[in-house]
């Protein structure tokens, strides 16, 4: 069996932290041929999808063979693990992967769902599970929402890893100018959410595989910051799911399965759903290290059962 991983260039992947590396190593341990490419390597000749890919040995990290031009229907599964931003190149890559899907290849996560589930906007499908949230471009609407909720958080819809997330009070000096800036003079929508003080106790990342929670970590902000993202200095700690968090996972599960979202990372703060991460969710290494589990191997095992 062959599996293809569509990634950022290998030289940018840190095997000690990267979830893609964990999955590749687990696949290799399961006697699966592991191949890699970047989105730029995908192609279609008529209605046949292909790729210029390299077979790799990921453990020890990493040995790669010479590139080969190979049909995508040679792969039992293709992992789309390119990090955001979801830009024009990313979107075109999902269209090329759909050509492979039409030939019967399983793409994880499903190509059309990667387009449809913006990692901020996708959560709005479950707004009843979220803190009060507004997505808008108009400054007056955003100001009104801030006045109603006191302290709020601004999130760019295309952001990742906490980048560009701003915490403001409704009476912050210069709020008008700030909102004009982040909306590009009311041309670009942003997400505004009621600030949850519980974030100081942690932002829980829960990893769901085919709708089922298999692992979680609690990410705590560094001193002087409210953002708990590990890429911004947050620290991870072992955790267990509360009954409320289990209920959230249960409510999301049918939609995730129906939409072909096999590997998802959700963020929960104070019992409130914050985001649904579908492009290249992280956290496998942290769960494995903190919870003493073989999460990546479990994921590959579940995948193989679904393919059999």
Is residue 149 scored above 70 in pLDDT? Answer: yes
Q: What is the predicted pLDDT for the residue at 48?
A: 94
% of residues, the chain, pLDDT over 70:
96
State yes or no: is 138 an active-site residue: no
State yes or no: is 257 an active-site residue: no
The catalytic residue among 275, 285, 286, 288 is 275
Q: What is the predicted pLDDT for the residue at 233?
A: 67
State yes or no: is 119 an active-site residue: no
State yes or no: is 219 an active-site residue: yes
State yes or no: is 155 an active-site residue: yes
Is residue 228 scored above 80 in pLDDT? Answer: no
Is residue 173 scored above 90 in pLDDT? Answer: no
The catalytic residue among 218, 219, 259, 285 is 219
Is residue 100 scored above 80 in pLDDT? Answer: yes
- Which of helix, strand or coil describes residue 66? coil
State yes or no: is 275 an active-site residue: yes
State yes or no: is 8 an active-site residue: no
Q: What is the predicted pLDDT for the residue at 226?
A: 74
Least confident range of 20-34, 39-53, 158-172, 178-192: 158-172
The catalytic residue among 82, 160, 194, 205 is 205
The catalytic residue among 25, 245, 267, 288 is 267
Calculate helix-pair angle for 19-29, 284-291, nearest 10 degrees.
70
Average pLDDT, the chain: 94
The catalytic residue among 25, 277, 285, 286 is 277
State yes or no: is 277 an active-site residue: yes
Helices (H), 104-184: 111-116, 139-149, 175-182
Q: What is the predicted pLDDT for the residue at 53?
A: 98
The catalytic residue among 54, 81, 120, 194 is 120
55-75 tens-digit pLDDT? 999 999 999 999 999 999 999
- Read off the pLDDT of each residue in 24-34 and give the average, rounded to a whole number: 98
Query: What is the Cα–Cα distance from 287 to 267, expressed in whole angstroms?
Result: 14
The catalytic residue among 81, 82, 194, 227 is 227
Q: What is the predicted pLDDT for the residue at 20?
A: 97
Q: Are 191 and 120 in contact (CB under 8 A)?
A: yes
The catalytic residue among 82, 155, 194, 285 is 155
The total of other beta-carbon atoms located within 10 Å of residue 203's CB is 25
Q: How confident is the model at residue 179 (pLDDT cuts 50, 70, 90)?
A: very high
Q: What is the predicted pLDDT for the residue at 234?
A: 75
């Amino acid at each position: 069996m062959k599996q293809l991983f569509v990634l950022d260039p290998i030289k940018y992947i840190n095997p000690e932290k990267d979830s893609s590396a964990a999955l590749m190593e687990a696949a290799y341990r399961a006697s699966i041929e592991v191949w890699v490419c970047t989105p730029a390597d995908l192609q279609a000749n008529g209605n046949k999808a292909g790729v210029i890919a390299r077979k790799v040995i990921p453990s020890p990290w990493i040995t790669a063979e010479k590139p080969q031009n190979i049909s995508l229907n040679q792969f039992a599964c293709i992992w789309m693990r390119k990090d955001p931003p979801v830009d024009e190149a990313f979107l075109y890559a999902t269209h090329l992967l759909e050509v492979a899907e039409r030939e019967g290849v399983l793409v994880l996560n499903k190509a059309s769902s990667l387009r449809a589930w913006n990692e901020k906007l996708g959560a709005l499908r479950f707004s009843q599970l979220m803190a009060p949230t507004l997505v808008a471009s108009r400054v007056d609407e955003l100001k009104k929402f801030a006045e109603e909720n006191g302290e709020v958080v601004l999130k760019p819809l295309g952001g990742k890893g906490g980048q560009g997330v701003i915490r403001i009070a409704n009476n912050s000096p210069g709020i008008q100018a700030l909102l004009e800036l982040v909306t590009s003079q009311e041309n670009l929508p942003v997400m505004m959410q009621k600030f949850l003080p519980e974030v100081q106790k942690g932002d829980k990342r829960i990893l769901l595989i085919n709708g089922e929670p298999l692992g979680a970590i609690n990410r705590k902000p560094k001193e002087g910051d409210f953002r708990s993202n590990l890429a911004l200095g947050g620290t991870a700690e072992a955790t267990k799911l509360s009954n409320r968090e289990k209920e959230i996972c249960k409510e999301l599960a049918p939609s995730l399965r129906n939409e072909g979202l096999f590997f998802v990372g959700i963020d929960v703060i104070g019992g409130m759903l914050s985001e649904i991460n579908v492009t290249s969710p992280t956290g496998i290494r942290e769960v494995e290290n903190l919870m003493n589990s073989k999460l990546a191997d479990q994921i590959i095992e579940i995948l193989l059962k679904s393919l059999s």
